[in-house]
């Protein structure tokens, strides 16, 4: 059934790919973004990522340059459209930066979400998909990580903001049975849309592995720093569960289907991953092969707060959402490379 979906932070990496899949699925999308992390050329009404989403899909995104912390602006958008469901991406997301400016992270991520939820309740919208992260699990006690793994013990403000927000959502659902909330715990989203027209476009030095590798391959950066080569993993480098961004986006579409079917209520969490871990060096090798470029790297010390291995148990999402990741590491690298080589400087061109 076509729905009216309001997407916050829809101009970002996960947001734009999800908006694309929502349009492909026939939904109407209203997007709210404060553009703090998205490129748009001066004259454009739309951020570049969403302009390209429109080109790819032939669909339309109604865009609002609104900060979710601004209650009145947000209320205006909700009053203008009959919204069935909200997908909430808007958040700051850089771990290192979160340690330098924690208050901004808490204000954006927690206050922002609280304001959004209050406004939703005011206008009578109670279906919510939250953009969470495997970071809420802290250091894994057992692998693969199931959704019943304890949460908390996060080591940085970014991670805490995700964990705190999940707790707020849980309390909210317990306080009022009208809420139906799905929290999607992402493992490591990578890759790009097959067209190479949208992809990950980090500001400044990338925080995540694959954009860094891609920038090395394309010649924007000299070499990759591999943080830690003495972990208890097959080759000593950190192991993560990388998931293709299009698979991840499709997971959101499935979550919305489930929510709109009315078959789930209260607070639900699902891992979005492949269930398979790859080491940093495996990713480097796969990317080199896909790009046919050498990716120079050096082994350096561990970063504080990093963990050895993390990968998901993905059976719950398969069972309850009918969703499984379909794309493997090779395709992740090919698509990331296709995006990078066609957009060596990201959306700014």
| Residues with a known catalytic role | 158
Q: Is the dihedral of CA 229, 231, 232, 238 positive or negative?
A: negative
Report the C-alpha gap between 4 and 31 in whole angstroms.
Answer: 11
Taking each helix axis from N to C end, the angle separating 157-175 and 112-123, rounded to the nearest 10 degrees, works out to 20
Taking CB under 8 A as the binding criterion, the range among 2-10, 72-80, 112-120, 244-252 that sits at the site for its own copies is 112-120
Choice from 41, 111, 263, 342 touching its own copies (CB under 8 A): 111
Find, among 229, 224, 234, 238, the residue nearest to 293 by Cα.
224
242 binds its own copies (CB under 8 A): no
Contacts of 75-80 with CB under 8 Å at 24 or more apart are: 75/119, 75/122, 75/123, 77/6, 77/30, 77/32, 78/6, 78/119, 78/120, 78/122, 78/123, 78/125, 79/123
Taking CB under 8 A as the binding criterion, the range among 15-23, 156-164, 218-226, 238-246 that sits at the site for its own copies is 156-164
9 binds its own copies (CB under 8 A): no
Cα 115-40-348 angle, rounded to 5 deg:
130
152 or 344: whose CB is closer to its own copies? 152
102 binds its own copies (CB under 8 A): yes
Which helix or strand (DSSP H or E) is residue 97 part of? helix 95-100
Site string for its own copies, 53-92 (x = CB under 8 A): ----------------------------------------
- 144: preceding bond cis by omega (within 30 degrees): yes
Q: How far is the CB of 212 from its own copies (least distance, A)?
A: 24
Choice from 100, 223, 225, 319 touching its own copies (CB under 8 A): 100
Taking CB under 8 A as the binding criterion, the range among 29-37, 109-117, 182-190, 236-244 that sits at the site for its own copies is 109-117
25 or 168: whose CB is closer to its own copies? 168
Report the C-alpha gap between 343 and 47 in whole angstroms.
Answer: 16
Instruction: Give the pair of three-digit tokens for residue 26.
Output: 């026939």
Choice from 168, 218, 285, 299 touching its own copies (CB under 8 A): 168
With H, G, I as helix, E, B as strand and everything else as coil, classify residue 17: helix
Q: Is the dihedral of CA 287, 293, 299, 302 positive or negative?
A: negative
Q: How far is the CB of 174 from its own copies (least distance, A)?
A: 7
Choice from 157, 206, 228, 277 touching its own copies (CB under 8 A): 157
Choice from 75, 99, 264, 307 touching its own copies (CB under 8 A): 99
141 binds its own copies (CB under 8 A): no
260 CB-contact burial (10 Å; exposed 0-12 / middle 13-18 / buried 19+): middle
168 or 264: whose CB is closer to its own copies? 168
152 binds its own copies (CB under 8 A): yes
Q: How far is the CB of 171 from its own copies (least distance, A)?
A: 4
43 binds its own copies (CB under 8 A): no
Binding site for its own copies (CB under 8 A): 99-103, 106-107, 110-111, 114-115, 117-118, 121, 152-153, 156-157, 160, 164, 167-168, 171-172, 174-175
């Amino acid at each position: 059934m076509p729905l009216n979906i309001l997407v916050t932070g829809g101009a970002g990496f996960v947001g734009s790919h999800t908006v694309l899949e929502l349009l492909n699925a026939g939904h109407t999308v209203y997007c709210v973004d404060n553009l703090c992390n998205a490129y748009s050329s001066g004259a454009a009404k739309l951020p570049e990522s969403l302009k390209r989403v429109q080109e790819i899909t032939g669909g339309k995104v109604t865009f609002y340059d609104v900060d979710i912390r601004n209650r009145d602006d947000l209320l205006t958008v909700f009053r203008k459209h009959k919204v069935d469901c909200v997908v909430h991406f808007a958040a700051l997301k850089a771990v290192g930066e979160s340690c330098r400016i924690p208050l901004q992270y808490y204000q954006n991520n927690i206050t922002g979400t609280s304001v959004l939820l209050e406004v939703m309740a005011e206008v009578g919208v109670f279906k919510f998909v939250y953009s969470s992260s495997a970071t809420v699990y802290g250091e894994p006690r057992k692998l693969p990580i199931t959704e019943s793994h304890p949460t908390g013990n996060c080591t940085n403000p970014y991670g805490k903001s995700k964990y705190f927000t999940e707790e707020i959502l849980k309390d909210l659902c317990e306080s009022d049975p009208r809420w139906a909330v799905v929290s999607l715990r992402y493992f490591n989203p990578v890759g790009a849309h097959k067209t190479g027209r949208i992809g990950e476009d980090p500001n400044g030095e990338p925080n995540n592995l694959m954009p860094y590798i891609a920038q090395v391959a394309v010649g924007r950066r000299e070499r990759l720093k591999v943080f830690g080569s003495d972990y208890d993993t097959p080759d000593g480098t950190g192991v993560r569960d990388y998931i293709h961004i299009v698979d991840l986006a499709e997971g959101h579409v499935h979550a919305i289907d489930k929510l709109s079917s009315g078959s789930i209520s209260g607070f639900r969490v699902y891992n979005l991953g492949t269930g398979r871990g790859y080491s940093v060096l495996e990713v480097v090798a796969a990317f080199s092969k896909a790009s046919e470029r050498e990716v120079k790297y050096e082994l350096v010390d561990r970063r504080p707060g990093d963990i050895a291995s993390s990968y998901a148990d993905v059976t719950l999402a398969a069972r309850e959402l009918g969703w499984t990741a379909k794309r493997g590491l090779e395709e992740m690298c090919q698509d990331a490379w296709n995006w990078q080589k066609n957009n060596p400087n990201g959306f700014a061109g």
